[in-house]
Amino acid sequence: MISVVTRLPLFALLLSACGASAPTAVMPGDADALPSMECLPGRGVELEELSESARFAWLLTEQSFELERPHPAPRGATHAELQAWSETELRGWLREKSRLVEAARAELDEVAEEAHRQRVWSGALVGLMYEDVARTLLDVPVPRELLDEPEIATAFRDVVRAEASPYLEHARRAYRACRLNGRNRDGALRTWAEFCADRGDRLPLAEALESGESTTEVEVVHE
């Protein structure tokens, strides 16, 4: 099983978390919404009806989304200000986010083998968690000093995209598994498959994982 990548030494000078926006209503199954538990389609069953292990996996996934993002560095921050921010607030956030995502993913890998519907759900949940990390990293302001240096600013953005790319690729693969596992199914599972297909299509471009890099267990597709 994979670990959430946290290459802070390379990225320490570059990061700024996305700013908090005013809360807006999210409809279940909204593939355009930011990653959250609220955007998921309805399960079709009450949480209490699931196995104890499935309920625990769901709870751990919820906890990963309950972690508040770090206070954002201001737009127009200097290189030094971004560096100081990334070495304090962001470092702690990524460490705790990694712990929560890894714990949830490990449980989801297990419950995916219990029932077909849980295999579909697990793909969506894993995809959302990785997408959440990736989009946080992608919302990075260019340091103020680079605003008049377009070539250097482009290189900066390339580094940002490279840091987010593994998360995006894992999200894409998890969404694909969800889509394939839910295809040709009736009712709620087909809705989940369509949700995962739409979210996968809306992900920013990500480079493919290097050969030999591990992937998530929920990517196993069962007919």
Q: Which two tokens stand for residue 137?
A: 């990293």
Neighbours of 102 (CB within 10 A): 16
Q: Residues near 106 by Cβ (< 8 Å), separated by ≥ 6?
A: 1
Which pLDDT does position 23 carry in this prediction?
54
End-to-end CA distance of the chain: 22
pLDDT tens digits, residue range 171-216? Answer: 999 999 999 999 888 788 999 999 999 999 999 875 554 434 444 4
Q: Which two tokens stand for residue 150?
A: 């377009």
Most confident of 21-35, 75-89, 106-120: 106-120
pLDDT greater at residue 199 or residue 159: 199
Tell me how far apart the alpha carbons of residues 52 and 97 are, in angstroms, rounded to a whole number.
Answer: 24
pLDDT tens digits, residue range 10-60? Answer: 444 444 333 334 456 889 999 999 999 999 999 988 999 999 999 999 999
Residue 47 CA neighbour count, 13 Å, CB half: 6
Domain ranges within the chain, ordered by starting residue:
51-68+76-208+215-219
Which pLDDT does position 87 carry in this prediction?
83
Looking at the chain, list the stretches that DSSP marks H as alpha helix, in order from N- to C-terminal side: 8-11, 52-66, 79-85, 91-111, 116-138, 150-182, 188-202
Among 40-54, 67-81, 121-135, 171-185, the least confident range: 67-81
CA 177 to mean position of chain CA atoms: 15
